[in-house]
Amino acid sequence: MDYVVVSLAALVATALTLFSGFGLGTLLMPVFAVFFPLPVAVAVGLV
């Protein structure tokens, strides 16, 4: 279930970055921090 939520959040964040101009990692970092340990979330956000 966690993978579905993170995937949907990534899809929504990608759609938002298309119009807003913000970086994808900036929008996804809070979502990753909720579902993964912080060092993993930071590493995934940088990729």
pTM (two decimals) = 0.60
Half-sphere exposure of 11 (CA within 13 A, CB side): 6
Total of domains in the chain:
1
Please, which pLDDT band fits residue 43 given cuts at 50, 70 and 90? confident
Map tokens 């119009």 to a residue. 19
Q: pLDDT (tens digit, 9 = 90+) per residue, 10-37?
A: 888 888 788 777 777 777 788 888 888 9
| Residue 32, domain extent | 2-46
Provide the token pair at 45: 């956000």
